[in-house]
Structure 1
Amino acid sequence: MASKHEIKAQIRKDEGKGASRRLRHADFVPAVIYGGTQPPQSLQLIHNDVALAARNEWFFSALLDLNIEGKVQKVLLRDLQRHPVKSRVLHLDFQRIDESKPIRLKVPLHFLNQDKSPAGKIAGLLIMHEVNEVEISCLPSQLPEHIEVDLSTLEKGDIVHLSSIKLPEGVQIPALRLGKEHDLAAVVVKEARVEVEEETAAPEAAAEVPATAVKAEPAKTDAATKAEPGKGKK
């Protein structure tokens, strides 16, 4: 059973860029809630409360109880905008949830007992986590904050696909209905390769010939080059 997480919010009456800027200067975060049969509604939340909640994994993957001035609505966080430089949250988007209808959401994978597995005890093996989150479908009441993947039996050469992960009751992975090519490898055990650079022998430098061993050719004079053989002065 997933834990309950309550987030407090207030109704925001002023809208627009100027109003949002004033809210941020007052240490509030502008937000909006939409979905369901009700119209979208502008909200404001205390920045420190949001910053603390955003440190937790559940804030992004769990069903939240959004308490709007005493009235609680079930919501999911659909978007969080951060300042590109400062450690500030700029805006939040919440979606209302109908608890009678299935929802789709990405949840994190938690890999357990990797060090206790046979593969984890063999030197020279790498256990690669190829997928760290997966999109699931379920009723809101069955939504897990994360999915545990037990790696206690992992051995050399093993590959753990999405289809082999044990899912909580009522939870499905929609991608698996699209075909085997969507059954991604979540964990792969590989041998660590040590790359050894091949030493290429440098070409031997041409042996230098001592200057004394080089026989100099006699220099030809201009007269010798111009004189024709066999012809002399008359």
Structure 2
Amino acid sequence: MSSLFLDKPNDFDKRVDRLVEHFRLAETWFFIKNAKGLPTPRDLLWLLIADAVHTARLLPDVERRMVSRMGSAMPSARETELEARIRELSRLADGMPQYDDTEVRVVVHEDASDRMVDVLDLLRFVVGGHNGKDVLRMKRTVVARAAGLSIEQCGRIYDKHRLGFDRRAMWDIRNRVLGQILKGIETEFGLVRTSRGFRRLSLKEIDRRRRDRKSDEKRRRREEAEATEQ
């Protein structure tokens, strides 16, 4: 597994604190968009991934290459020539003036950029299936869906030869990816999953887990010794 996207090893605690804050922010987004219901960790993680992809698409190409580990899995921020032509013809057919193609630079807030780096780095926890052979295409498919691509487009990204790629298939892939990321967050950062996100371990919980690890280690050594004697 690759290392964390950190400047220094001692920034680990800051990274964990930021991750907790990201989930709290996502909870605020959820309640803004949904008048009823309570979010799950999967709901919040999906909002964070969608936000990270959106931020990445606003970055200039050079900056996106610097902060993104997804490579070709990251959706393009530009239209194809055909898409641009179709859009322009549609505008003219509706009697609208010719489109001004002057590019406007969007300045991405530093907080959004930092959050994007933190969230996209979580994709390294995806282990895929079939002995890890489909990790990249699972990442590409989920990132594409978070970017707003259709089920049909996501199906071609996952497997252009597969027939019958539908919402259920997309839902299964998405849930597998989100589940693997949530598990990685718990294992790597030592956070406790709650009904709405994550929180840090209390001192009692840290001490209890330390005792449990020592107990497990003693039991393992005893079993190995017994096996050697036999």
Instruction: Quickly name the TM-score band, shorter chain normalised.
Output: under 0.3
Higher strand share: 1
Higher helix share: 2
* Structure of higher CA gyration radius: 1
Structure with higher RCO (Cα < 8 A, 6+ apart): 2
Q: So what's the TM-score if we normalise by structure 2? A: 0.22
Q: So what's the TM-score if we normalise by structure 1? A: 0.22
